[in-house]
Amino acid sequence: MGKARLLLALSLVVVLLLVETTAPHGQAHAIDCGASCSYRCSKSGRPKMCLRACNTCCQRCGCVPPGTSGNEDVCPCYANMTTKNGKHKCP
């Protein structure tokens, strides 16, 4: 009975280690949404609205396309997010 418990405990440890090493942990690095969106919206005619939308998109997608406009192919989630009216949400 003692060997069976030991074997069960070791098996459990091995399974937990395998799960821990193979489970995805999100992105390789966290993005600073505030700084990324500040730059993204720096040339916007409506900076407060741009920042609000950009921060929402960044938090949901975990990325912001480089530059002040365009380049949305770099972050498909950001590019495909729409408002309830079907317009692009992210600046």
The predicted structure's pLDDT at residue 28:
46
Average pLDDT, stretch 72-83? Answer: 91
The predicted structure's pLDDT at residue 30:
81
Average pLDDT, stretch 58-76? Answer: 93
Identify residue 16 by its one-letter amino acid code. Answer: L
Vertex 78: Cα angle to 75 and 51 (nearest 5): 120
Evaluate if residue 33 carries a pLDDT over 90.
Answer: yes
Q: Percent helix, strand and coil across the chain, each rounded to 5? A: 55, 0, 40
The predicted structure's pLDDT at residue 27:
47
When pLDDT is cut at 50, 70 and 90, the band that residue 21 belongs to is: low
**81 burial class (0-12, 13-18, 19+ CB within 10 angstroms)?**
middle
